[in-house]
Chain A
Amino acid sequence: MDKEFAARRRRDLIIAAVLAGIAALTPLFVKDVVVQNILILTLMYAGLSQSWNILSGYCGQISLGHALYFGLGAYTTELLFTKFGVLPWFGMLAGGVVSALIAMGLGYPFFRLRGHYFVIATIVIAEIGLLLFHNWDWAGAAMGITIPIRGDSWLKFQFLRTKLPYFYFALALCCLAWFVTWWLEDSKWGFWWRAVKDNPDAAESLGVDVFNSKMGAAAVSAFLVAVGGSFYAQFVSYIDPESVMGFQFSLLMALPAVLGGIGTLWGPVLGAAILIPLTELTRFKFGGSGRGVDLIVYGTLIVLISLALPRGLLSLFARPKKTGAAR
C-alpha cells in the first residue's frame, strides 16, 4: 500500500471522529422533538445505507431486497421480547445472526445469478418474506406487533420521556457501520470485493475466492442491517410486515448510497445527510394534505439527482486523477 492511500485512510478516520463528535453534541442545541426525530432517522439510514453499500457498492451485487434483513432483525427482536421476555439487546444480536445466516443460505443459490436476474431474485425473496409474515398468525400476521412498555431504561432499551438515547444508539450504529466499512476497505476482503465487482472472471482466475467473498459481504451487510431493524422496532414501538419489510426500505437503503456515491466510504453518509431530511421535510410540509404532493416533490428530486449526478455527489469533490500515478 502506498503512502498516499495510507494518508487518506488516516485522514478519513480523523474526519469521521470529528464528525461523530459534532453529531454527539447536537442534542445539546437541538431541543425540538421533530428535528431530533429527523436526526435519528438520518443517522439510522446512514448506517443502513453504509451496510447495504458493503454488499452492493463494494462487492457489486446490487440487492434490492435488504428490507428482508431489516424486517428479520425487527421481528426477531420483538418476537423474542414479547413472547419470551428476552431483552432487546440479545434480540438485536440474535436478529443479526439470523439475518446473516439467512443471507448466506440465500447466497448459496443466488450468487450464481448475474445482472437483472440477481436483482429481481433479491426483490422477489424480500416479497416472499413479506407475504409469509403477513400470513404468520403467531407473529401477529398483518396486524403486526405492538411492543409493550416494560420500563424506561437502557436495560430494556425503551425510553418514554426522551428520544436522546435513541439518538445516541443511532449514532453508534452509524459509526459502527462506517468503521466496519473503513476497516474492511483495506483488508484482504476489501480488495477481493473490488476485484469481484470489476471483473469476476478475471478475479477468479487470479485466485480470488469469488463465491466466498460474496458470501462474506452478504453476511456482514445483512447483520448490520438487521441490527438497524431491531433498533427501528424499538424506536417506533410498533411493527407490522409492511412497515418493516416493505419494498420501500430496500430502496431507502440503496438511495443514499447511490446518491452520495456507490461503493465509496463517504457516499452513504453524505447521501443520507441530504436525502433523509429532505424526505422528512417534504412529508412534513406537504404530506398532511394526503394528496400526494410530497410524493411528487420527492420523486422529482430523485429523478433530477440521479440524472444529474450518476456517480453520486462525491464525484463533485473528487480531484482529477493524476495520470500514471498509482492509486
Chain B
Amino acid sequence: MGLLYGLIAVGLALIFGLMDVTNFAHGEFLMIAMYLSFFLFAFFAIDPLLSAPLVAAALFIFGAVVYLLIVRFAMRAKANAGMVQIFTTFGLAIVMRGLAQYFFTPDYRSIPQSWLGGKTISIAGIFLPEPQLVGALVSIAAFAGLYFFIHRTDFGRALEATREDPGAVALVGIDKNRVFAFGWGLGAALVGLAGAIMAVFFYIYPDVGASFALIAYVTVALGGFGSVFGAFAGGIIVGLVEATTALVLPPSLKSVGIYAVYLLVVFIRPRGLFGSI
C-alpha cells in the first residue's frame, strides 16, 4: 500500500515538488484514471493491467492540456501566485468532480473480475494479495524510471533549471511552457498508472480522489519538496505508519498516525526528510 501511495505521490512530487506548482486537483486526476480503467474494462473487456499504459497515455495528454489551458495562466499571476494556483486547481477539482457525478452518476463501481482481483500469492509462507503486489512492483519500476529521467536526461535537467530560473532558461533557448507541459503530462501519467492499478481493488466513485489527495500531499511534503527519492521514501513511511496505526487504533483513525508523523517530521526538519526547497 505504501508503494502505491508513493506512486500517487510521485506524480504530485513532480508537479508540486519539482515545478513548485500547487495542484489541488491531483486526487481528481486519480479518479479520472480509475474511471477510464473501469470503462475500458466494462466496454472493451480490456483488463486493467493491460489498459494501464493506455490510461497513463490518456492522462499524459490530459495533464498537458490542463497545464496549457489553465495552469499556465495561473502561474503567470503577478500577485499572490500561491493562492491563485490553489484556487484555480481547487476549482478545477470541483468541476471534475461535478462532471464525474453528471456523466458517471455518484454510484460506486468496481471491476468485478480481472486477472488479478482477489487472488493471493504466497511467498515464503506470507500471503500477499496479487494486485497490491503488482502495484508495488510497478511503483518501484516507475520510481526508478523517474529518478533516472530527472537526474540523467536533458529533459530532467531542463525541468529543474526551469523551476530555478525561467528567465535564464529562456535565454538558452528552452521553451518554459513546453517543459512544464511535459512535466505536467508526466505527473498525470504517473497518477494514471496508479489509478489503473487501484481500479482493480478499490471502489470507484466521483469523490474517490479526495481521500487520497491529502495523503499524497503529506507524502510529498514528508519526503521534502524537490526530491523524487523523498516522495518514494515518504510513500513507504506513510504505508508503514498507516499499517501500524491500524493495529493500535480503530481503523477510522488510521490516517491520524500519518498526519501525526508528518507534523513530527516537519517540526524536527522543517523541510521534510530530503527536501531541497
A interface residues, Cβ below 8 angstroms from B: 62, 64, 109, 112-114, 116-117, 120-121, 123-125, 127-128, 131-132, 134-135, 251, 254-255, 258, 262, 290-303, 306-307, 310-311, 315
Contact = CB atoms under 8 A, between A and B. Distances in A.
Contacts of B271: 117
B262 A124 contact: yes
A62 B86 CA distance: 11
Contact of B22 (A116, A296, A301): A116
Contacts, number: 134
Nearest to B99: A296
Contacts of A290: 101, 106
Contacts of A291: 101-102, 105
8 contacts: A254-B83, A290-B106, A296-B102, A298-B91, A303-B70, A306-B91, A310-B77, A311-B80
Contact of A310 (B70, B78, B92, B101): B78
A120 B95 contact: no
Given A302-B87, A310-B79, A310-B84, A295 B97 contact: yes
B270 A114 contact: yes
A128 B97 contact: no
Given A303-B70, A310-B78, A295 B253 contact: no
Interface of B: 16, 22, 70, 73-74, 77-84, 86-88, 90-102, 105-106, 206, 214, 217-218, 221, 225, 250, 252-253, 255-256, 259-260, 262-263, 266-267, 270-272
Nearest to B93: A299
Given A298-B94, A302-B94, A128 B101 contact: no
A120 B102 contact: no
A300 B91 contact: yes
A310 B76 CA distance: 10
Contacts of A311: 78-80
Contacts of B266: 113, 117, 121
Contacts of B79: 310-311, 315
Contacts of B90: 251, 302
B29 to A, nearest CB: 15
A306 B88 contact: yes
A117 B253 CA distance: 23
A62 B83 CA distance: 9
B84 A306 contact: yes
A295 B94 contact: yes
A299 B94 CA distance: 5
B91 A292 contact: no
A114 B277 CA distance: 11
B46 to A, nearest CB: 27
A195 to B, nearest CB: 18
Contact of B259 (A114, A116, A124, A310): A124
B103 to A, nearest CB: 9
Contacts of A303: 70, 87-88, 91-92, 95
A255 B87 contact: yes
